[in-house]
Amino acid sequence: MTIENNVLVKLTEVGLKQRNKWLVKGVSLIVERRKIVTLIGPNGSGKSTTAKIAIGLHKNIEGNVEKFTDKIGYVPQKISIDWTLPLKVSDFMVLTDELDEEKINEALKLTGADHLKNKNLGNLSGGEFQRVLLARAVSKKPDLLVLDEPVQGVDFTGEIALYKLIKEIADKLNCGILLISHDLHTVMTATDHVICLNGHVCCSGTPKDVAMNNEYKLLFGEQASQTLSIYEHKHDHVHSNDGDIKKN
Amino acid sequence: MFDDFFIRALIAGIGVAFVTGPLGCFVVWRRLSYFGDTLAHSALLGVTMALAFEINIAISIFIISSVIAIILVKLEKNTNLPGDALLGLLAHSALAVGLVVIGFLSFIRFDVMGLLFGDILAVNVDDLIIIWGGGAIILIVLKIIWKPLFASTVNYELAEAEGLNPDRAKAIFTILMAAIIAISIKIVGLLLITGMLIIPTAMARNISDTPKKMVIFSICGGLLSVIMGLFSSLQFNTPSGPSIIAAALLLFVISLFKIKQTIQLKN
């Protein structure tokens, strides 16, 4: 693969309008191999929508989506497994793809979930379930990983470990990652590009290192502050109720 | 005791049970029991069409049920009514229109009870061919769409994001539902077809911890229900459909004790 076609997905001025309201508008982004692009923003800012547009889950969109791979691993934001369906972790791992035993074990081990293999999906805790979701997404060695709030329900230490893990996965699998976080303060140093959304792209760029931030050092320790970083910015506009944007 | 008609009914019932097992699992997992009811009710209209135009009953039911399913999808898109209201609207309208049309077809001798509750005396060799041939096709198609259908049952977006085609699988599954109703109507009767889909599956849920086990136990439960039901139907001269469903209910009640045991073991 040459350097030129390292682009996995390219969004150009995409937007989605539902019930006369723009959910997102004018979003452009590129995810490249071995790069981590992080979308941040408050609730309802269109992060998940943008991710879904990128993987082709939304029809009738404006703008242009170019996908250069079909090997996509997806960790959705909300997933509730119905207990009417008895499902073990090992069954869940082969949900969309046939995998041999070895690959299943390898993926579960990678996310620290190998001890959960024979457990029923309904009996997992939030954090355990996130690890299994991540394991499933990486198990088929995708080119593009789309992770919608992959650390939700995971405790602080687990959260840091998972972020580190995601960073490792990007290198190990040689894949691109589109990561979503609602937490404005918790973005990895590993992130190559941060896009702040609020219905549109507020701002974007490389994240600033959080190592300078003493509060983070206090909260997570020296080790964690190397993993976590802060993305600071000021907004130059306000949002009205109908989704319009006014410059200050 | 083993008259020819009974053997035919038994073979027919066994064929039906093999198909309702796996389909029933999806009906339960995807919460489609009321949808099954709606298709089954519309089958009455299919029967009257068959009588009026002198075509095969199973084929006629299959066509009408499929049409009703398509109408449902269109209504869901174009109205603001909730799904269950639309299902109720279609189910009862189809049943009512079917019964009204039967009223007009007074020149035809017609056993409404047999149609509603199943009639083992009515099973002929043609029906056996339709049940086993149609059943085999249903199972083969289900096997083909299993992965996208199952994956989208667990999580629709996950399935779509990772390159499966859940919408197509769902559409094909709807057609399979219409087909199973068409082939099982003579044995179970149209009022109780959904019971045949759900009750053995519910029993299976109580005693299984993987989807595969649930499908297998569901088939076993269906087979046992059919055999027990048909024998008692012959013995006590009861209609076949209710006898089969009552047998299935009995198995379900027995399976409840298994749950109780498992819960006690856990504590």
Mean pLDDT by 10 residues, chain A (248 residues): 68 83 84 85 80 85 84 82 82 86 87 86 82 87 87 70 79 86 62 77 62 40 46 57 60
**What pTM was estimated for this model as a whole?**
0.81
Chain A within 8 Å of B158 (Cβ-Cβ)? yes
Total structural domains within chain A: 1
Amino acid letter, A180? I
Backbone dihedral angles phi then psi of residue A64, each to the nearest 5 degrees: -130, 130
B214 vs A52, A86, A96: nearest CB: A86
Asked if A46 and A4 count as a contact pair (C-beta separation under 8 A), the reply is no
| DSSP three-state, residue A83 | coil
pLDDT for A214 equals 45
Four-CA torsion A116, A119, A121, A125, nearest 10 degrees = -60
Taking residue A172's Cβ as centre, other Cβ atoms within 10 Å add up to 12
Q: Note whether residue A190 is domain-resident.
A: yes
pLDDT at site B54: 85
Residues of B in contact with A85 (CB under 8 A): 29, 153-154, 211
CA distance A217 to A230: 12
Residue B46's CB is within 10 A of a number of other CB atoms, namely 30
Structural domain range at position A1: 1-71+182-233
- Asked whether residue A127 is domain-assigned, the answer is no
What pLDDT score was predicted for residue A15? Answer: 85
Parallel, antiparallel, or unpaired: how do β-strands A208-209 and A228-230 relate?
Answer: antiparallel
How many residues are recorded in chain B? Answer: 267
In total, how many domains does chain B have? 1
Query: Are B162 and A75 contacting, i.e. CB atoms less than 8 angstroms apart?
Result: no
Contact in structure between B215 and A85 (CB atoms under 8 Å): no
| Domain membership flag for residue A13 | yes
Instruction: Assess contact for B181 and B37: CB atoms under 8 A.
Output: no
**B87 is in which domain, residue-wise?**
4-189
Whether B48 is in a domain gets the answer: yes
Residue B185 near residue B193, CB atoms below 8 Å: yes
pLDDT at site A225: 45
Task: Determine whether the interchain pair B154/A95 forms a contact, defined as Cβ–Cβ distance below 8 Å.
Answer: yes
d(CA A140, CA A17): 33
Residue B113 lies in a domain: yes
Please list the ranges in chain B whose pLDDT falls under 70: 1-3, 260-267
CA atoms A115, A120, A123, A127: torsion sign: positive
Note the pLDDT of residue A215: 39
Closest residue in chain B to residue A143, using alpha carbons only: B162
For residue A122, the chain B residue with the least C-alpha distance is B209
Residues B154 and A92: beta-carbon distance below 8 Å: yes
* CA of B38 vs chain A CAs: smallest distance (Å): 22
A203 is a domain residue = yes
- CATH number of residue B32's parent domain: 1.10.3470.10
Beta A193-197 vs A36-40: how paired, if at all?
Answer: parallel
The identity of residue A211, as a single letter, is A
How high is the pLDDT of residue B14? 94
Q: What is the pLDDT, as a whole number, of residue A228?
A: 45
CA distance A102 to chain B (A): 20
Chain B residues closer than 8 Å to A86 by CB: 205, 208-211, 213-214
CATH number of the domain to which A190 belongs: 3.40.50.300
